[in-house]
Amino acid sequence: MTKREPHKKKLSLSLFKDLEDKEAFEKLFRNNSIIREQLSKVVAGKRKEHIKTPDYDNPSWSHRQADLNGYNRALNEILDLIDLNEDYTK
């Protein structure tokens, strides 16, 4: 079984109006693994802060749990965006 090379992930940089600014940011972000690692640590830390068990005594526990699930899903998506080496061909 041969190991596939991960595809180069395309950054979504629609915030940038100027093509030169967009290309400069993409180059900076791709070449600075320290920034990406630190961002990953911060986001992963936020995820750990919010891991809680449901408070079944609270009548709104299911709403709280649904909100927490959405928050964690968003954090996971951010982590996926930061990880430029992830293979999305699965």
Q: Give the model confidence (pLDDT) of 41-72 as tens digits.
A: 999 888 887 776 667 788 888 888 888 889 98
| 29: Cβ contacts below 8 Å, ≥ 6 apart | 11, 35, 36
Identify which has the larger pLDDT, 28 or 1: 28
Position 5 pLDDT exceeds 60: no
Identify which has the larger pLDDT, 3 or 17: 17
What are the boundaries of each domain within the chain? 59-83
70-89: pLDDT as tens digits: 998 999 999 988 887 654 43
Which tokens is 44 given? 């992963």
6-44: pLDDT as tens digits: 445 555 666 777 788 888 888 888 888 898 899 999 998
